[in-house]
Amino acid sequence: MVEKINLEEVKHNIAESNQINTNVSPNKLVKDQAQQLEKEGSLNLEVGENGPIQCSAAYSNESFIASFNNIFKTLISPRDVGTRSKFFKEGEHPTYGQLVEFYIYYLVLTIIYIFMSILRLFQYMSNRSKLRFFSVAFNSAADPEVINSDVNKLPKIPRRISTILNYKSEQEENGGLEGLCNDAAQVASWCLSSGITYLSIYEYHGVLKKRVPVLKKAIYKKFIAYFGTENIPNFIIKIPHLNLTFPGSIDGKLVESESEAVNFPKNVQYNIEVTLLSVVDGRPTIVELTRVMAELAKKGELKPKDITLKFMDQELQQLVGKEPDLVIMFQPFLNFQGYPPWQIRLSEIYWEPDNDSTCYAVFLRALQKYSTCKVNVGR
Is 244 or 280 the residue whose CB approaches another protein more closely?
A: 280
Q: Which CB atom, from 37 or from 109, has the smaller least distance to another protein? A: 109
Contact 23, 255 (CB under 8 A): no
Q: Which residues pair with 327 in a beta bridge?
A: 162, 349
Nearer to another protein, 208 or 302 (CB): 302
- Provide, rounded to whole angstroms, the least separation between the CB of residue 227 and another protein: 32
Per-residue b or e along 151-189, where b marks 16 or more CB atoms closer than 10 Å to that residue's CB? beeeeebbebbbbbbbbbebeeeebbbebbbbbbbbbbb
Compare residues 146 and 312 and give the one whose CB is closer to another protein: 312
**CB nearer another protein, residue 223 or residue 351:** 351
Coil, strand, or helix at residue 270?
A: coil
Residue-wise DSSP of 65-85: HHHHHHHHHHHHS---GGGGG
Using CB under 8 A as the binding rule, whether residue 339 contacts another protein is answered as: yes
| Positions in 285-324 near another protein (CB under 8 A) | 286-287, 289-291, 293-295, 297-298, 302, 304-305, 307-309, 312-313
Q: Cα separation of 146 and 62, whole Å?
A: 36
Residues in region 249-278 near another protein by CB under 8 A: none
Question: Shortest Cβ distance from residue 291 to another protein (Å)?
Answer: 5
Least distance (Å) between residue 349 CB and another protein: 5
Part of the chain binding another protein (CB under 8 A), chosen from 75-83, 143-151, 209-217, 233-241: 75-83
Of residues 39 and 310, the one with the C-beta less far from another protein: 310
Tell me how far apart the alpha carbons of residues 336 and 261 are, in angstroms, rounded to a whole number: 36
Strand partners of residue 235: 249, 272
Per-residue contact flags (x/-) with another protein for residues 87 to 106, judged by CB under 8 A: x--------------x--xx
Residue 168's nearest CA partner among 135, 223, 219, 207 is 207
Question: By 3-state DSSP, what share of the chain in percent is helix, strand and coil, each rounded to 5?
Answer: 50, 10, 40
Query: Binders of another protein among 44-73, rule CB under 8 A?
Result: 50, 53-54, 56-59, 63, 67-68, 70-71
In angstroms, the CA 352 to CA 118 distance is 20
Short-list 291, 280, 281, CA closest to 318: 281
**Binder among 150, 183, 273, 348 for another protein (CB under 8 A):** 348
Whichever of 154 and 307 has its CB closer to another protein, that residue is 307
